[in-house]
A and B are shown apart, each in its own frame.
Chain A
């Protein structure tokens, strides 16, 4: 009996962690290129509402996902233009984008609150793999987007570690003037990083409104965008560790629901606090142990080619 509960919990941990994987891997890519994007929360919301609206009108999940990623990417384009081309303060710009994203999603989603999604992502058991003990029911009886997240983590890691483009991205986040002197286009690299991060944040939002809940409510991300930003630090900008962290947090969140389901008497509010408190605790431990955990050296600083050495 407890074994069954355990499997249920682990499976829902994977589900709960999936939007965090999308958002944190996306943010990780943006940050490794040197741009801090604090607008993730707003982009996730925009993605969630756009995906939902597209699903209602077209009843096509594929189109809905594209719409979500496109809308969030458009918002992130604004971030890129402001921070990379106009060299504005990256943190303030990101916060303004979260504000804009929240306002826009609230406005756009007005007519869609409470409507159940007409089409949703349903679990698809992978033949063969889903029969494995333990791993089978937990990992391989999930919906398509979860499988996509597995591929994403692997692809992101391979991209950063093995490709020359990934090398260029990493270098742009460490030392932009060197990259520029070597003839690469720092702005283009950073634009690509930010847009990728935005699109993935949109995908995370779409997952929430089309698979996880699945519905649209105002401010439905409830801070998961911020947890994703914290996750990137926890993962020391490494996609594999980000995935581990995402599932860890998914587990904590799912734990809250499980406790309620088993009739625990803890008020739901405290259970909902768990993910945030846990994130805080983890962040504290990580920063207490190592002073400078592998921060991309150029993170947060705009690059200006004709900067003169002081």
Chain B
């Protein structure tokens, strides 16, 4: 089924997400929608899928002009979307999730049988009775695909589908998608990964700043062409100067950490980070990376093993003690954990030092000292923020730069950064990378944990791979090999 969007405009209170964006996809093709973070790709597809109402513009489906009052209309018309954040209720079972929203009164034993058959046909292996929270990301994605197929979607939209998969799982998925397209559906894939797109797509549409700037057949385009279309200019290649690393600063020795549900999330993990080096930790989300970072930061208990920073043993130490030993932690959730939304930027910048002089004397906070510290930190890292606004009104990029400014401003010995550039646009990402590299150059030990393999390959001196709570291998820069790393991420032997 052919679909097209004509001159769509969509504004939100803080930003204009889409300005006169037009897009068209044909039956039988795999069409990639390419752009950097923030270009408007997801927003545009959300309009097509009925989640957002366009302020202006038209939607054409199968040659007819359509208007959606809600996602239900779009679903009924045969449009199905698999989002980046899966639309699955974790506490319900797979079958319950699939039955949600369908017609019928009872729990549907017959439908479940039909689902099993459909899954078998499409080659999607998944346990229908398992609660969703037990499933891996790859399995959850299969459930989402199964749902679309069951609703007989003719147009399949997938938002960054390979971001939660290992490279091998990603290849398998893309193969499935191509088969579905050839069988007569329309497949649209939202992505920011250039190389991947060139390998599987029939056509590519590039978006930038809320508009579609070009549509090319995959054979006609090169990676450089697409990159320059995405950012408006050719980005310089990432430079990574070699450095001789110093003494060990962060030592994790046979650490075991419990997860949220009884079982161990981190098993017997050992890792060292030296002064002046950047160590990357790669892995598919949910393999214990977050728990490891939280354990190092003191937000999660350690049940076995040792943790040392600068030689000091800190397994049982409080968060304050770890901060005093020179630890800085950039958490995943910058809005709720890293920063306090209701406070101003200056008040956020003193979060790690509010209890010590010069900020605090005898229980009282010194406003001049707070202001002075804020001005110094903002100037040092080149961040500008409105002085009296509560921090929750700021954009993601500014928030992250504020967070980095604060953490680095404490002149730490070791930084643990968890998904530091998630959701940021190219410029903000580059600034954060630059700050981390600067820190390493000045002798700080940096541990970057990220799901973005490209980011780690560009930044890291050494790369560790984590799978099911264990470190499967640690590779030096000369050994970096994408497919080997992908194999390790999926659980292959070192």
A and B associate: yes
Q: Which residues of A contact B (CB under 8 A)?
A: 161-165, 167-168, 170-171, 174-175, 177-185, 297, 305-306, 308-310
Q: Which of A163, A168, A306, A309 contacts B100 (CB 8 A)?
A: A168
Determine if A164 and B70 form an interchain contact, defined as CB atoms under 8 angstroms apart: no
Docked CA distance A163–B76 (Å): 22
Docked CA distance A163–B103 (Å): 11
Return the chain B residue nearest A310 by Cβ: B335
Q: Which of A163, A183, A305 contacts B101 (CB 8 A)?
A: A183
Determine if B71 and A183 form an interchain contact, defined as CB atoms under 8 angstroms apart: yes
Task: Specify which chain A residues have a CB less than 8 angstroms from the CB of B335 in the assembled complex.
Answer: 310
Q: List 16 A-B contacts (CB under 8 A).
A: A164-B99, A164-B107, A164-B108, A165-B105, A174-B90, A174-B91, A177-B87, A178-B87, A181-B71, A182-B101, A183-B75, A183-B101, A184-B72, A184-B100, A185-B70, A305-B51
Min CB distance B428 to A, Å, is 15
Determine if A171 and B83 form an interchain contact, defined as CB atoms under 8 angstroms apart: no
Task: Specify which chain B residues have a CB less than 8 angstroms from the CB of A162 in the assembled complex.
Answer: 106-107
Min CB distance A161 to B, Å, is 8
Task: Specify which chain B residues have a CB less than 8 angstroms from the CB of A305 in the assembled complex.
Answer: 51
Min CB distance A136 to B, Å, is 34
Give chain B's interface secondary structure class. loop
Return the chain A residue nearest B53 by Cβ: A306
Determine if A183 and B396 form an interchain contact, defined as CB atoms under 8 angstroms apart: no
Q: Is B92 close to A, CB under 8 A?
A: yes
Determine if A175 and B106 form an interchain contact, defined as CB atoms under 8 angstroms apart: no
Task: Specify which chain B residues have a CB less than 8 angstroms from the CB of A310 in the assembled complex.
Answer: 335, 396
Q: Given A183-B70, A183-B75: A178 and B89 within 8 A (CB)?
A: yes
Docked CA distance A162–B105 (Å): 9
1/0 per residue, CB under 8 A from A, across B332-346: the answer is 000100000000000
Band of interface residues on B: 20 to 34
Task: Specify which chain A residues have a CB less than 8 angstroms from the CB of B71 in the assembled complex.
Answer: 180-183
Docked CA distance A170–B51 (Å): 22
Q: Is B427 close to A, CB under 8 A?
A: no
Q: Given A183-B75, A184-B100, A310-B396: A178 and B105 within 8 A (CB)?
A: no
Return the chain B residue nearest A174 by Cβ: B89
Determine if A167 and B100 form an interchain contact, defined as CB atoms under 8 angstroms apart: yes
Q: Is B64 close to A, CB under 8 A?
A: no
Task: Specify which chain B residues have a CB less than 8 angstroms from the CB of A180 in the assembled complex.
Answer: 70-71
Q: Is B52 close to A, CB under 8 A?
A: yes
Docked CA distance A306–B52 (Å): 7
Min CB distance A310 to B, Å, is 5
Determine if B72 and A175 form an interchain contact, defined as CB atoms under 8 angstroms apart: no
Determine if A164 and B105 form an interchain contact, defined as CB atoms under 8 angstroms apart: yes
Q: Is B461 close to A, CB under 8 A?
A: no
Return the chain A residue nearest B70 by Cβ: A183
Q: Which of A164, A181, A184, A297 contacts B51 (CB 8 A)?
A: A181
Min CB distance A291 to B, Å, is 10
Task: Specify which chain B residues have a CB less than 8 angstroms from the CB of A297 in the assembled complex.
Answer: 91
Docked CA distance A165–B51 (Å): 22
Task: Specify which chain A residues have a CB less than 8 angstroms from the CB of B85 in the assembled complex.
Answer: 309
Of A171, A180, A184, A305, chain B has the most CB atoms within 10 Å of the CB of A171
Q: Is B104 close to A, CB under 8 A?
A: yes
Task: Specify which chain A residues have a CB less than 8 angstroms from the CB of B91 in the assembled complex.
Answer: 174, 297
Docked CA distance A168–B396 (Å): 34
9 more A-B residue pairs beyond the given contacts A170-B92, A183-B71, with a C-beta to C-beta distance below 8 A: A163-B107, A165-B105, A171-B92, A178-B87, A181-B81, A183-B76, A305-B51, A306-B12, A310-B335
Min CB distance A216 to B, Å, is 41
Of A165, A167, A175, A177, chain B has the most CB atoms within 10 Å of the CB of A167
Min CB distance A156 to B, Å, is 16
Task: Specify which chain A residues have a CB less than 8 angstroms from the CB of B105 in the assembled complex.
Answer: 163-165
Min CB distance B269 to A, Å, is 25
Min CB distance B221 to A, Å, is 30
Min CB distance B106 to A, Å, is 6
Determine if B104 and A164 form an interchain contact, defined as CB atoms under 8 angstroms apart: yes
Return the chain B residue nearest A184 by Cβ: B101
Return the chain B residue nearest A183 by Cβ: B72
Docked CA distance A162–B104 (Å): 12
Min CB distance A295 to B, Å, is 10
Determine if A178 and B70 form an interchain contact, defined as CB atoms under 8 angstroms apart: no
Task: Specify which chain B residues have a CB less than 8 angstroms from the CB of A164 in the assembled complex.
Answer: 99-100, 102, 104-108
Docked CA distance A213–B75 (Å): 54
Q: Is B96 close to A, CB under 8 A?
A: yes
Min CB distance B262 to A, Å, is 12
Return the chain B residue nearest A309 by Cβ: B85
Docked CA distance A179–B76 (Å): 15
Determine if B99 and A178 form an interchain contact, defined as CB atoms under 8 angstroms apart: no
Docked CA distance A49–B365 (Å): 55
Task: Specify which chain B residues have a CB less than 8 angstroms from the CB of A183 in the assembled complex.
Answer: 70-72, 75-76, 101
Interface residues of B in 72-126 (CB under 8 A from A): 72, 75-76, 81, 83, 85, 87-92, 96-97, 99-102, 104-108
Determine if B104 and A181 form an interchain contact, defined as CB atoms under 8 angstroms apart: no
Task: Specify which chain B residues have a CB less than 8 angstroms from the CB of A161 in the assembled complex.
Answer: 107
Min CB distance B420 to A, Å, is 15
Determine if B106 and A163 form an interchain contact, defined as CB atoms under 8 angstroms apart: yes
Determine if B101 and A179 form an interchain contact, defined as CB atoms under 8 angstroms apart: yes
Min CB distance A103 to B, Å, is 34
Docked CA distance A43–B402 (Å): 48
Docked CA distance A170–B91 (Å): 10
Docked CA distance A167–B111 (Å): 15
Min CB distance A150 to B, Å, is 23
Return the chain A residue nearest B43 by Cβ: A308
Return the chain A residue nearest B76 by Cβ: A183
Task: Specify which chain A residues have a CB less than 8 angstroms from the CB of B107 in the assembled complex.
Answer: 161-164, 167
Task: Specify which chain B residues have a CB less than 8 angstroms from the CB of A165 in the assembled complex.
Answer: 105
Determine if B52 and A171 form an interchain contact, defined as CB atoms under 8 angstroms apart: no
Docked CA distance A179–B70 (Å): 12
Docked CA distance A180–B91 (Å): 17
Task: Specify which chain A residues have a CB less than 8 angstroms from the CB of B70 in the assembled complex.
Answer: 180, 183, 185
Docked CA distance A171–B396 (Å): 30
Q: Which of B12, B88, B106 contacts A178 (CB 8 A)?
A: B88
Return the chain A residue nearest B85 by Cβ: A309
Docked CA distance A1–B63 (Å): 85
Docked CA distance A86–B187 (Å): 38
Return the chain A residue nearest B104 by Cβ: A164
Determine if A182 and B52 form an interchain contact, defined as CB atoms under 8 angstroms apart: no
Q: Which of A170, A182, A306, A308 contacts B87 (CB 8 A)?
A: A182
Of A171, A179, A182, A309, chain B has the most CB atoms within 10 Å of the CB of A182
Determine if A168 and B92 form an interchain contact, defined as CB atoms under 8 angstroms apart: no
Task: Specify which chain A residues have a CB less than 8 angstroms from the CB of B52 in the assembled complex.
Answer: 306
Return the chain B residue nearest A170 by Cβ: B92
Q: Given A306-B12, A310-B335, A310-B396: A182 and B100 within 8 A (CB)?
A: yes
Task: Specify which chain A residues have a CB less than 8 angstroms from the CB of B83 in the assembled complex.
Answer: 181
